[in-house]
Amino acid sequence: MTVIGAHLSSSKGYLNMGRTAISIGANTFQFFTRNPRGGKAKELNLEDIHAFQEYAAAHGIPLVLAHAPYTLNAAAKEGRTREFAWETMADDIRRMEALPGQLYNFHPGSHVGQGVETAIGLIADCIDQAVIPGQTTTILLETMAGKGSEVGGRFEELRAILDRVKYPEYMGVCLDTCHVYDAGYDIRDHLDEVLEEFDRVIGLSRLKAIHLNDSQNPMGSHKDRHAKIGEGTIGFDALLRVLSHPRLCHLPFYLETPCDDAGHGEEIRKLKEALHGI
């Protein structure tokens, strides 16, 4: 059973997102924990969470993926900006624990001229300060396109972060197809080799989720501009190979393509239809 969904607006709460997911043919979803530019999160609504848990059990939503604001920079130069990153992450994790056992994804950060090595240490420190011992939430590092001074464009950088954190057992990786392609990994024509490299450097057991996006730019462009499924440089067939790959097909997949909910529903329908044809 393929677990696939899309990024949804979180403004109306968990139950509403669950209903939207089911209405577009999805059985999971991703959402921002708060305004993607940062800022305060809404009050936790335990009633909504309980209603969602019942709905998810009844409709077969096995898990969901929360995404941290993308403006956080755990590797910032200024102490205050780093403090903001770990405070936000700590608050997000605390809130996620109200819905146990989910995934929490974040962008490792940008080294802003300090160098990758320094950044890796700062990112690991940030995670260590945010973690709650005994937490049930899995923290995911997202593979990045390597735009500007972004950390996480190479598998080795993510591995180095995983090696530095105090609680690696709470950690995993989310592979974004647009990002890795833009970073220079040829998932279009050499998927098996890329997965072998991921396995050698990080370990495929660390891979917990996939962001399934096409890219507007060529391989190695370091741009990070998502395209609709089949309308980019990766293409429909290559993305279908990711979705159906025996080493990946058990993972949850999330579309972050430039579509509204109905558009995501259409993409999910086409992908599922093609999957059945394999």
Give the integer Cα–Cα distance in Å for 78 and 75: 9
Interface region with Fe ion, contact rule CB under 5 A, candidates 87-95, 153-161, 174-182, 196-204: 174-182
Confirm if 226 and 259 have CB atoms less than 8 A apart: no
Check residue 182 for interaction with Fe ion (CB under 5 A): no
Residue 224 interface partner, choices Zn ion, Fe ion, none, CB cut-off 5-8 Å depending on type: Zn ion
Round to whole Å and give the CA distance between 91 and 86: 8
Tokens encoding 112 = 């802003």
CB of 48 or CB of 182, closer to Fe ion: 182
179 is known as an active-site residue: yes
**Rounded distance between C-alpha atoms, residue 137 and residue 145, angstroms:** 25
- Rounded-to-integer distance, Cα 183 and Cα 53, Å: 37
Q: Which of 67, 95, 154, 206 is catalytic?
A: 67
Considering beta carbons, is residue 99 or 144 the nearer one to Zn ion?
Answer: 144
Binding residues for Fe ion restricted to 110-149, rule: CB under 5 A = 142
In a 13 Å sphere around the CA of 100, the CA atoms on its Cβ side amount to 4
| Cβ closest to Zn ion, residue 157 vs residue 224 | 224
Residues 145 and 223 sit within 8 Å (Cβ to Cβ): yes
Catalytic residue list contains 224: yes
Give the one residue of 92, 150, 182, 224 binding Zn ion; rule: CB under 5 A: 224
Catalytic residue among 7, 82, 95, 107: 107
Size of the site for Zn ion (CB under 5 A): 1
Q: Is 196 a catalytic residue?
A: no
- Range 35-58 burial, b when 16+ CB lie within 10 A, else e: eeeeeebeeeeeebeebbbebbee
Q: Which of Fe ion, Zn ion, none lies near 211, with the C-beta cut-off 5 to 8 A by kind?
A: Fe ion
- Is residue 182 involved in binding Zn ion (CB under 5 A)? no
User: Judging by DSSP bridges, how do beta strands 138-142 and 109-110 pair with one another?
Assistant: unpaired
Judge whether 37 counts as a catalytic residue: yes
Q: Which of 34, 111, 159, 211 is catalytic?
A: 211
Q: State in angstroms the smallest separation of the CB of 211 from Fe ion.
A: 4
Catalytic site includes residue 164: no
Clarify whether 163 is annotated catalytic: no
Token pair in block for residue 38: 């940062």
Q: What is the DSSP string of 105-118?
A: EE--EE-TTS-HHH
| Binding segment toward Zn ion, per CB under 5 A, in 5-13, 180-188, 219-227, 228-236 | 219-227
- Is 211 near Fe ion (CB under 5 A)? yes
Catalytic site residues?
A: 37, 67, 70, 107, 142, 176, 179, 211, 224, 226, 256
Binding site for Zn ion (CB under 5 A): 224
